[in-house]
Structure 1
Amino acid sequence: MTQQKTLEICERIARLKQERDAVILAHYYVDPAVQAAADYVGDSFYLAKLAVSLPQQVIVLCGVEFMGESVKLLNPAKTVLLPEPLADCPMAHMVERATVEAARAEYGDDLAVACYVNSTVEIKSWSDVCVTSSNAVKIVSELPQRHVLFIPDRNLGRYVAEQVPGKHIILNKGYCPRHEDVSLDELLALKAEHPHAEVLAHPECTAAVLEQASYIGATSGIIARAEASEAEEFIVVTVRGVLHELERRCPGKRFFFTKTPPTCRDMDMVTLEKVAACLETGSGEVAVDAAAAPQAKLTLDRMLEYAAR
């Protein structure tokens, strides 16, 4: 897209926002042009928390389906639009009801089901509390139950278990394909090329990859670490879309990704043209299952309560 075309679409978006009383939220993983056009950019926890306080009646969520659903659950009276309704998260579906029921049958009241926010409304409704990669350790450590079924991500669940040894963490088989597929060999080769670089990794990565990390944290944590560190070079082990914010906040520093950089095909589906189109037509409106919504919302409310303590 030419610079002139991008400018024209951004002007159209700005006009439509005023007409529709709309605000644009974007995840760090979407296209840099979309991030640049957004009013707020952040990780899933930041966006979910922020959405509750915004005055606008229309929220355009530039991300994947579960993010739009979460914002709708927290703002049921507002209109939430997804520029690309087909943008999904494979991991969000990687839980079976039987897994939850079996754990509840075995551990009874001494079990909490902690559900990663990367999950469908239905899966949230089976759970007790939601967590994100930025607050999972804190929330799980503060749960009154000793046994915690962590769904759907086994990698984040394993990381939480290592950080909270006093809890019995039961893992599910789900995973993020983008982080799961990060090549350890490619990471080791990159470390050999840049021996002084800090390795910043997302906890959705495998154990073997995390063992190579200087820092493990959510996307927002990775950005903050790079910004605060005295290092000049960083190997970043998460979805490449975060580079836009890293370069914006860390001028002069250098960032490297593995030879096969993690990219999210679903996040890549969100474009400036689609943002403008959904504002113009009202397409991509998020609706949530009425039966599942009350319990699903409760898990998000509890997450915000725990995170605020």
Structure 2
Amino acid sequence: MATTALAERVHDGPAGYSGVFPDAEWAAEIARLAAERNATILAHNYQLPEIQDIADHVGDSLALSRIAADVDAETIVFCGVHFMAETAKILSPAKTVLIPDARAGCSLADSITADELRAWRAEYPDAVVVSYVNTTAEVKALTDICCTSSNAVEVVESVDPARDVLFLPDQFLGAHVKRRTGRENLHIWAGECHVHAAINGDELTAQARSHPDAELFVHPECGCATSALYLAGEGAFPADRVHILSTGGMITEARSLRSAVGAPTKQVLVATEIGMLHQLRKAAPGIDFEAVNDRASCKYMKMITPAALLRCLVEGRDEVHVDADVAARARSSVQRMIEIGTPGGGE
């Protein structure tokens, strides 16, 4: 595919690809190139607003991967981080999967390697391994059942109570599951998303107390999830206004608040990556959504720039490959997850 005048402006730098402004010319060129490649563009909720707006589908990683498997397009352009594009490839092995910048990694997925999981399994040879979908293909291939934040409790509850469970890699989601299940033989890996971990309890408490009439949306990966439940339990904040939700669950709850009968919700405090605010504001435009921490921005998500997306469609880069044997074993753990409860929209 020949380069274009617009694509010639793209240049690489320490923060990724730049040099292109997301204007009408860019949008038209993206649409033309996608049609020419028979490509579907998928964007995660944490992407830049202009990337979300140009995408064919926006959502959570698992929901997008399932869409990737269902659409007729030959090429999937996954605007997200690398493990998400891998999951799409696992579920769509015959399709070409591209990520606009292969350097877009994930601190949570990187917090456990396949070798570390093998060593942990050796300590508990009879345990069931439950892995969050925010993991690499190699880790999924060593997993018995994957989970999302919306069905993690159901997945763990599906395991024989007498068997140990190794839950990985997110320690905060693991703590949430342990609270909900009361399971003492749930062993939790000490991994974390650096963005969510930085949204701390003091910050959340201060925001909640200064906005006593707001609703509170908290992603279970957040370091402040325990503080949110403590506030509710102590009566410092109404329990019915504290919602521990996946990003897909946040969209559903926002629409529910918008359509609820009675006094309308005017403000929601949101504890997750700030890219989520764009979709929430679109889902419920009458509500004021504000970040608990307005610095909670993932640098890896933001590497998928307008310039990176343009380069990807012009050059057919960066293609995601997963070893066939690894993909088959990883696919099995994802399919088991889908069979248990409701996986929801993803993480």
- TM-score where L is the length of structure 1: 0.92
Q: What SS does the corresponding residue of 1:186 show, helix, strand or coil?
A: helix
Does the aligned pair in 2 maintain the 1:71–1:80 contact within 8 Å? yes
Could you say if the C-alpha distance between residues 285 and 102 of structure 1 is closer, same or farther in structure 2, counting changes exceeding 3 Å? closer
Q: Partner amino acid for 2:34?
A: K
Q: Which amino acid aligns with 1:274?
A: A
Partners of 2:208 and 2:185 in 1: how far apart? 34
The 8 Å contact of residues 131 and 145 in structure 2, kept in 1 or not, is answered as: yes
1:226 equivalent in alignment to 2:254: yes
State the distance in 2 between where 1:65 and 1:99 align.
Answer: 20
Structure 1 CA distance, aligned partners of 2:142 and 2:38?
A: 34
Looking at structure 1, the residues matched to 114 and 293 of structure 2 have their Cα atoms a distance apart, in angstroms, of: 38
Contact 2:199–2:293 at 8 Å: present in 1 too?
no
- Structure with higher Rg: it is 2
2-structure distance, mates of 1:92, 1:84: 17
Flag the 1:50–1:21 CA change in 2: closer, same or farther, 3 A.
same
1:140 to 156, 163, 167: 156
> What CA deviation, in whole Å up to 9, does each residue of 1:232-269 have, x standing for no partner?
21110000001111111111111121354311110011
Matches of 2:82 and 2:109, distance apart in 1:
9
Kept in 1: contact 2:89–2:321 (CA 8 A):
yes
1:115 to 119, 131, 135: 131
1:255 aligns with 2:289: yes
The structural deviation recorded for 1:16 is: 1.1
Aligned to 2:304: 270
Map Cα deviations across residues 144-166 of structure 1 (whole Å, 9 max, x no partner): 46321111111111111122225
Give the alignment of 1:185-224 within 5 angstroms: 185-206=202-223, 207-211=225-229, 212=231, 214-224=242-252
Partner of 1:239: 273
Q: TM-score, normalised by structure 2?
A: 0.82
Superposed CA offset, 1:192-214 (max 9, x none): 32110011100001244332470
> In the alignment, which of 297, 302, 305 is matched to residue 336 of structure 2?
302
Distance in 1 (alpha carbons) for counterparts of 2:22 and 2:133: 35
Query: Is contact 1:9–1:273 with CA below 8 Å preserved after alignment?
Result: no
Relative to 1, partners in 2 of residues 1:98 and 1:21: Cα closer, same or farther, differing over 3 Å?
Answer: closer
Letter in 2 for 1:189: A
Residues 167/77 of structure 1: CA separation in 2 closer, same or farther (3 Å cut): farther
Q: Whole-Å Cα distance in 1 between the matches of residues 21 and 49 of structure 2?
A: 16
> Matched residues in 2 for 1:182 and 1:135: separation?
23
Structure 1: unaligned runs, 5 residues or longer = none
SS of 2:300's equivalent in the other structure is helix
The 3 A distance-change label for structure 1 pair 140 and 11 is same
Q: Which moved more, 1:243-252 or 1:186-195?
A: 186-195
3-state DSSP of counterpart to 2:178: helix
Give the superposition deviation at 1:104.
3.8
Mapped contact 1:203–1:210 kept (Cα < 8 A): no
The DSSP-based 3-state class of the residue aligned with 1:292 is helix
Which shifted more, 84-93 or 199-208? 199-208
Count of aligned positions: 308
- Equivalent residue in structure 1 for 2:71, among 54, 58, 73: 54
Q: What one-letter code is carried by the residue in structure 1 that aligns with 2:137?
A: V
Q: Distance in 1 between matches of 2:72 and 2:342?
A: 21
Where 2:216 maps in the other structure, the secondary structure is strand
Question: Which deviates further from its counterpart, 296-305 or 123-132?
Answer: 296-305
Deviating beyond 6 angstroms after TM superposition, the runs of 4 or more aligned structure 1 residues are none
| CA distance in structure 2 between the aligned counterparts of 1:139 and 1:298, rounded to whole angstroms | 14
One-letter code aligned to 1:142: S
Is the CA contact 1:182–1:205 (under 8 Å) kept in the aligned structure 2? yes
Tell me the C-alpha RMSD between the 2 structures: 2.3
Q: 1:114 to 1:262 in 2, by over 3 A?
A: same
How far apart are the structure 2 equivalents of 1:138 and 1:89? Answer: 25
Query: Would the aligned equivalents of 1:141 and 1:167 in 2 still touch at CA under 8 Å?
Result: no
CA distance in 1, matches of 2:340, 2:26: 40
The answer to whether the 8 A contact 2:204-2:228 is kept is no
Q: Taking every aligned residue pair, what percent have the same amino acid on both sides?
A: 40
Separation of aligned partners in 2, 1:167 and 1:42: 34
In the TM superposition, what is the alpha-carbon distance from 1:120 to its structure 2 partner?
0.9
Match of 2:14 in 1: none
The separation in 2 between residues aligned to 1:26 and 1:306, in whole angstroms, is 26
Paired residue secondary structure (1:255):
strand
Distance between the aligned counterparts of 1:165 and 1:262, measured in 2? 30
